[in-house]
Amino acid sequence: MKELAEILLTEEEIARRVQELGAEITRDYQGKELMVIGILKGALPFMADLIRQIKVPLRYDLMAVSSYGDSTRTSGAVQILKDLEMGLEGQHVLVVEDIIDTGLTLKYLLSNLQTRRPASLKVCTLLDKPSRREVEITPEYNGFVIPDRFVVGYGLDYAERFRELPMIGVLKPEVYTGK
């Protein structure tokens, strides 16, 4: 694909890691029921594949959040666009994210979810960019640590494009800078 500078993670690498994460989560939640919360839109493909690998009873719901700021940096001010349809009190909750960058949005979201009194609250992310972190957030389940590059595919987008790609690629700078 001409807009990609390189393939960072292949479809096969992603599938293998999702299977491993599913096995880890299954082991950790043995004997418990799990509530999985996917963060729209980017986490949807990852969450769909992940829940098929988790072998404990689970329910899932979706949230949509919006972070305000310019296109390359979040301000940390978050608005919930779609809230959960189910309560969390007493539930073992796993938040599924596509990518953790600065951590500002996720920190807000975890704070919000904690007020709903879950029995436990953990995070599973496909991608983690710790070099960009502005707040202390460490996901309990982490697919891949990646460098500070603009990535798309497998749910991640640029201007709502590239989400359908089965792999994760690095977007060429000229695509998002216009230069």
* Residues annotated as catalytic (active site), given as ranges: 101
16, containing H or E segment:
helix 11-28
Q: Sheet containing 141-145: which strands, arranged edge to edge?
A: 78-82, 58-67, 34-40, 92-100, 120-128, 141-145
CA angle 14, 18, 121 (to 5 degrees): 130
- Could you count the other beta carbons within 10 Å of the beta carbon of residue 62? 18
128 to each of 3, 115, 123, 140, how far by Cα in Å?
Answer: 22, 25, 11, 11
- Read off the amino acid at residue 73: R
In eight-state DSSP terms, residue 172 is P
End-to-end CA distance of the chain: 18
